[in-house]
Structure 1
């Protein structure tokens, strides 16, 4: 068993070179380096052994040789990729973290990471009745994103009509359950029969449809929402957003978290129905979880009891071993995952 001060091997997923279009497994490769399990003297860094790594659509922006989302760093060819993850502190020069602490935040895709930018690192007050893996999703970035979008941005009310695209994903599945607990009528779209069944039979959505089987998205939405949509949680963009705009009710709200259908297009699709925003007095607002970190304790107070009471369920797709990471990450962009995609650094 490795101890603090030892020099050990460190398996890593390395970024090969900048990407144009959809990322491929070959844009990353596995290698083994060495690392000394000790924080340099005088440093406020934190050394962690990574346990779980989160696969998120945002990560593809870090692969581009262009300016991407504000406030993020980008991958350097020849260096490990990084993203949100869960780890155990082995050594620390930071006064807020000590050996043995569990944390979640930005970390490298490797067995051990020396984290020098600790601003977004959050200590986990873990209990055995909640899976540790949940801090890559429902209790981590995805959960905060869902919470902020639902309660702070769109704020649906009891009886309102709510539509969620990419509804079986890490964020969408949680938003749908928040909406049902609030007393809303909830419909989700997904990309397979299995995912539609998950939404209706396990997550409690009132209705769901497979967008790949719908030749007319406007007609599909009118079928599901004969009275129109009050709130739309946007994760897809493109033709679906255009159809949603036609079906929004007056004073509707659109919370924009992502537009995954547009991320890898050479030229993003134009939206034809934007005048609906003016005609119907619709509010459309973009957001990310990063604006709402100060609400994390309030978020935990809400969601932990729901999990323990089984009022909220969460579906995970766990890839086993760091070597399975590239395939798991790339699979996000073809809908291969079933629920929240994450990687167990060492097979469970």
Structure 2
């Protein structure tokens, strides 16, 4: 193979993301310098944070550069190595972007064992989404046995893990998801105590029925009216882990209407970026990996086929069309 395919950011979105914001290109397979490895990517991870990176705005990291390969987590196999820490055939997880192949200096590359854990899981339950769930739950929400937590986007890659980890700690877990199929999965497969279908039109009443003792902690992925409804149900000294606000990722202004509750209930709200807490990743990944390997942590994947399908799969992700972790299969 002398060339491989990659997708670059062609233009910044004006409102909703469209396929024309991306461009599929052929690139030559590069020659390696000392210390580098060449990886054939097997799966690409699609995640909501990518929408924010497409904007030229102040944030926790630099914007995606126009004309360069779109950022993204990948898992694959080393096909050539000039780095003594990696051998041909090693399975690795990294950030090689929307591309069939990538070159790494090994710094952000991690070898993984696929004997008991599927390679794709290292982009989901045993990867960045799983760690996001683990960190938000254990470090910010810190629920005690018997307390009630609420998780929005509960059937997604992050929310599904939050609820399962909470149940293992003796916590009542209530999910919010879109549609009866997703809610049935959250309760019947993932083991949440209840799940509210926000599309059914009875959000406030259904939330009250599912949280009769109020809410002690929230894992927030969505924002908007769902977040407002949860805040209104919070108990004194409730904790909120703010992971995402996907309802406003296309530039719509988002108001927070129940701000007074933060005072009256003495709530704490903390946003977080899991990549800033790498010191805790070994602890979290050990628990997540053990749970997946032993079948105690379930996950579901939506898999698009081929790199060219990535833009439409990403647009679907932002609209909630995925079920579980959204991946693109490249091999």
TM bucket (normalised to shorter chain) is: over 0.9
Residue 70 of structure 1 and its aligned partner are, at CA, apart by 1.5
1:46 to 2:33 alignment: no
Structure 1 match to 2:65: 75
Task: Report how far residue 15 of structure 1 moved.
Answer: 2.0
Where do residues 233-244 of structure 1 align in structure 2 (5 Å cutoff)? 233-244=219-230
- 5+ long unaligned stretches in structure 2: none
C-alpha contact 1:61 1:68 (8 A) present in aligned 2 = no
1:207 to 191, 194, 200: 194
Equivalent residue for 1:188, pick from 175, 183, 191: 175
Name the CA distance, whole Å, in 1 between partners of 2:156 and 2:319.
12
Structure 1 unaligned residues grouped into runs of 5+: 3-7
Alpha-carbon distance in 2 for matches of 1:84, 1:73: 16
**RMSD between aligned alpha carbons?**
1.8
Write out per-residue CA displacement over residues 179-224 of structure 1, whole angstroms, 9 at most, x where no aligned residue: 1111111110111111111101111111111111124x33222121
Once the two structures are TM-superposed, the CA of residue 119 in structure 1 deviates from its matched residue by 4.1
Q: Is the 8 A contact 1:188 1:199 kept in 2?
A: yes
TM-score by length of 1: 0.90
CA distance in structure 2 between the aligned counterparts of 1:86 and 1:127, rounded to whole angstroms: 11
Alignment of 1:141-290 (within 5 A): 141-215=128-202, 217-266=203-252, 268-290=253-275
Match of 2:94 among 105, 109, 117: 105
2:296 and 2:58 map into 1 onto residues whose CA distance is 37
- What is the deviation of 1:73? 4.7
Normalised by the size of structure 2, how large is the TM-score?
Answer: 0.94
Paired residue secondary structure (1:324): helix
Is structure 2 residue 13 aligned with structure 1 residue 35? no
Give the match for residue 327 of structure 2: 342
1:291 lines up with 2:276 in the alignment: yes
- For residues 73 and 262 of structure 1, do their structure 2 counterparts lie closer, same or farther at Cα, with a shift above 3 Å needed? closer
Equivalences, count: 331
Q: Is 1:85 matched up with 2:85?
A: no
Provide the rounded CA distance (Å) in 1 between the counterparts of 2:179 and 2:121.
24
| Contact 2:8 2:66 (8 Å CA) reproduced | no
